[in-house]
Structure 1
Amino acid sequence: MPLALRDAFIDLEQYERLCAAAGEGERLEYLDGEVVRMMVGGSTAHHALTRRLDGLIADRLAPGGPCAVFRETMRLEAGTARFYPDVFVACGAGVAPDAETRGVPGATVILEVLSPSTERYDRGRKWLRYQSLPDLRHFALVAQDQCRIEAFHRQAAGWHYELLVGPDAVLRLEAVGVELRLGEVYAVLPALAAGADDRPAQAAFTPAQVASIAAMRGLPVSGEIEALLAELEPDACAAAVAALVAGDGVGGWAAILPERLHARLNARPDDASERG
């Protein structure tokens, strides 16, 4: 996990002072009054994918258009939060970074390259805060050990979850007019781009991650719920997270869990608010 610098709440002014005193290349994020030191550099694969995504998107954005792509050295402002996404695209009048803080006040597309140390943070608190960005239309989680991208696309009814696996799959970032075939994204990692990695796709979400995201969405997570979640297959976990993101927990667990578990869900002695 990323390292929290201190337990006590600090304000934005104190955060800015810490940033000013930070070492060269050190990235400090700020969320809910907490300062988080992010890993600098990362693995060779992480670095290669970040550069590749930045280059491909830059080449495909409309020349002279309203959008620009940024890498992890630029800071994204999400309300009172401050982040350093691996790659993001901002559009409109606020696209020019602040000369002093290198901050950009918004994003249309955000891509995070997953790492074992940051994956839970990227999927959880960070993603929830990203959703508060009014202009955000696409959020993608890019695996560095397999040819796999998970994408969330904002639609009228909420967020749509999409799992892309294999070199021929295409990530469509319609809000900025960019399409990325996974084979070309992973060309910097030849074994993955060529499909030489014949391992099955890893679970996008685990039952524990579903429970964690549900709790942050305000759904109660009892021992009985955790037992039901433990029975979910990877596809069902992905569907549960997509339902949580799209519906913000509206409808309770009945709207999240597959129908085959509803009888046991309704039979629990818990408060009816958990059942939906």
Structure 2
Amino acid sequence: MPAARRDAFIDLDAYDRLCETAEEGERLEYIDGRVFRMMVGGSTAHHALTRRLDGLVAERLAPGGPCASFRETMRLEAGTARFYPDVFVSCRGDIAPDPDTRSVASATVIIEVLSPSTEAYDRGRKWLAYQALPDLRHFVLVAQDQRRIEAYHREGAGWRYELLQAPDAVLRLDAVAVHLRLDAIYAVVPMLATASDDRPFSVPFGPAQVAGIAGLKGLDVSGAIEKLLTEMDAEECAAAVAALVGLADLPPEESWRAVLPQRLHRGLDEALRGML
């Protein structure tokens, strides 16, 4: 998790002043009045993948079209939040090269290369904030320690989750007419360039993280439901998070039924009755 600065719960003007005095290589992100300190770069694999993804996307965007790609030094405005995605595509159509331009207020595609210190942040609070972007159509998480890409594609009022690991897998960003083979993406990481990797993957989520994200989604995590969450294993927690971030506007009981595994539905019914 990125470190939150002590200047907690500040307004956007104060955040902008902090950015003006930020150290070289430091990125300050802003969510719900709090500032999070990020660092540009990271591991050599992270740097190589970020540069590679930006290059592949940029060269496939329609020449002269409305879309442009940006890397981690360009700020993205998502409502009142401010972020520095590793790679993103904006199709606003009126972004001209300008040395004074420091931020963009629209994104159609966002790509984050995962790091151990920021993975939970990227998957949780940050992804929830990204969903407020009306133009966003694809959100992509790229692993740097194995050939694994996860993508969320907007479909109607919700999101479809996709896991890509196969040697011939293709990441399809249809909203910008860009298709990327995993082989092409991972060619810059020698140890992952040719090996297929179908190992089960782990994500840093447990019952507490599921409860926290459910709370951010506006769901009531009562004592009875919280107890049900503690009965979930790591794989079920990962599935629950994927379900939570893709939830459309459903009644709470339907939302919990979509999030909790089938084996806990009887306990859910009892918990919901107790909440009435």
TM-score by length of 2: 0.89
Post-superposition shift, 1:207?
A: 3.4
Tell me what 2:146 maps to.
Answer: 146
- 3-state DSSP class of the match of 1:254? helix
Aligned counterparts of 1:205 and 1:172: Cα–Cα separation in 2: 26
Distance apart, 1:11 and its partner CA: 1.5
Alpha-carbon distance in 2 for matches of 1:124, 1:156: 21
Task: Provide closer, same or farther for how the CA distance between residues 3 and 234 of structure 1 changes in structure 2, counting only shifts above 3 A.
Answer: closer
Match of 1:115 in 2: 115
Partner of 1:206: 205
For 1:136-175, list aligned pairs within 5 A.
Answer: 136-175=136-175
Cα deviation, residue 93, structure 1? 2.9
| Residue identity opposite 1:242 in structure 2 | A
* Residue in structure 2 matched with residue 220 of structure 1 by the alignment: 220
Counterpart-to-counterpart distance in 2, 1:145 and 1:189? 9
Contact (CA 8 Å) 1:11, 1:33: kept in 2 or not? yes
| Separation in 1, partners of 2:222, 2:255 | 13
Distance 1:205 1:41 in 2: 22
Q: What's the Cα RMSD here?
A: 2.3
Residue 34 of structure 1 and its aligned partner are, at CA, apart by 1.4
Give the fraction of aligned pairs with identical amino acids, expressed as a percent. 67
Query: What secondary structure does 2:135 align onto?
Result: coil
Task: Spell out the pairing of 1:116-131 with structure 2 (5 A cutoff).
Answer: 116-131=116-131
CA distance in 2, matches of 1:51, 1:118: 18
SS at match of 2:77: strand
Structure 1 runs not aligned, ≥5 long: none
Deviations 1:242-274 (A, max 9, x none): 33223356324223212222112223487436x
Deviation at 1:219, TM superposition (A): 1.9
* 3-state SS in 1 of match to 2:134: coil
Q: Is the 8 A contact 1:75 1:101 kept in 2?
A: no
Deviates more, 1:135-144 or 1:93-102: 93-102
Letter in 2 for 1:203: S
Question: 5 Å matches for 1:166-185?
Answer: 166-185=166-185
Structure 2 CA distance for aligned equivalents of residues 126 and 262 of structure 1: 29
**Do the aligned partners of residues 256 and 177 (structure 1) sit closer, same or farther apart at CA in structure 2, a change above 3 Å counting?**
same
In 1, the alpha carbon distance for the partners of 2:223 and 2:34 equals 29
Distance in 1 separating the partners of 2:270 and 2:93:
54
| Paired letter, 1:142 | V
* Unaligned ranges ≥5, structure 2: none
Q: Secondary structure at the match of 1:246?
A: coil
Between 1:107-116 and 1:1-10, the stretch displaced more is: 1-10
Classify 1:248/1:203 alpha carbon distance in 2 versus 1 (closer, same or farther; 3 Å).
farther
SS of residue paired to 2:90: strand
Separation (CA, whole Å) in 2 of partners of 1:83 and 1:269:
37
Structure 2: distance between partners of 1:230 and 1:156: 32
* Moved beyond 6 Å, runs of 4+: none
1:77-97 Cα deviation digits (max 9, x unpaired) = 111211100000001234347
Equivalence for 1:72: 72
1:247 aligned partner: 248
Structure 1, residues 21-65: CA drift from partner, whole Å, max 9, x if none? 122222111111112110222011110110110011011111111
Counterparts in 2 of 1:248 and 1:150: CA distance versus 1, 3 Å? farther
Contact 1:90-1:106 at 8 Å conserved across structures: yes
In 2, Cα distance between the equivalents of 1:270 and 1:101?
54
Matched, 1:267 2:266: no
Question: What residue in structure 2 maps to residue 44 of structure 1?
Answer: 44
Question: Structure 1 residues 97 and 253 mapped into 2: Cα distance closer, same or farther (>3 Å)?
Answer: farther
| SS at 1:93 equivalent | coil
Cα contact 1:77–1:83 (8 A) shared by 2:
yes
Kindly indicate whether residue 253 of structure 2 is the aligned counterpart of residue 258 of structure 1. no
